[in-house]
Amino acid sequence: MAKVGYIFKKEPYEDFNEDKNWMLQFGCVNVVEEQKEHEKLRPKWKQLLSSLERGDELVVTKFSNAVRGSRELASLIELCRIKVVRIISVHDKIDTKNILFPDTKVSDVIEMFGSLPEECAALRNASSHIVQLQQDIIVSKKWNITNAEERAKTIVDMYKNGYSISEIHAISGFNSRSSVFRILNKYGVKLNRGRFSGPIGKRKNKKDNQENEENS
């Protein structure tokens, strides 16, 4: 069992250091920081959810900071229910184990659900505005990952979590899509996008591949 925190670094974020210190003092072994330019795809959030194991504890600053709407919140709650993961939202004052925030009432939880879409939209619009203002910086910087192994792992995790090749390539820092395919092939990822499936160089038409599997 492990405690891990997640913070989407929106701008402005005056309480960032305070929120991160709260998580560290609570005992989080790691506080994952998502950069504002990755607001749309949130690859680190996807990685974190994939890595959660039974009995872990997930700490977020606020649900509207971690998810992008009611549908994602419902998916998060279902995932954590299946994996028996405790969720703590610091500013919402919600703890799924009912240990912290004993004064939180059902009406407070309902209020959080009701205000979530508006809060997520406001955060998304603010982040998009900042990204647009800093577009020239972002284009040159692209993905804030310099370690080749970490970048490869992120590419593999993003693909397995449903992101398209175009979406992965857009933030990977690679000049060509073939480099993304090269990473996926290196780590033995079976392709399942578009018309083809299977490893690179041995791809078959999906329809033919399914027929072969049924006949085998």
pLDDT at 52: 95
pLDDT < 50 regions, the chain: 136-141, 203, 213, 216
Segment holding 133, helix H or strand E: helix 106-133
Where in the chain is CATH 1.10.10? 140-187
Residue-wise pLDDT for 120-129, tens only, equals 888 777 666 5
- Beta-carbon contacts of residue 81 (< 8 Å; ≥ 6 apart): none
Architecture of domain 3-123: 3-Layer(aba) Sandwich (3.40)
Q: For residue 78, which of 99, 109, 111, 49 has the smallest C-alpha distance?
A: 49
pLDDT at 128: 60
pLDDT at 137: 44
Residue-wise pLDDT for 45-61, tens only, equals 999 999 999 999 999 99
The three-point CA angle 34-140-48 to 5° equals 20
d(CA 68, CA 116): 8
Where in the chain is CATH 3.40.50.1390? 3-123
pLDDT at 84: 96
Architecture of domain 140-187: Orthogonal Bundle (1.10)
Contact status, residue 173 vs residue 143, Cβ threshold 8 Å: yes
Q: E-strand spans in the chain? A: 3-8, 30-34, 57-60, 86-89, 94-95, 196-197, 204-205
pLDDT at 47: 93
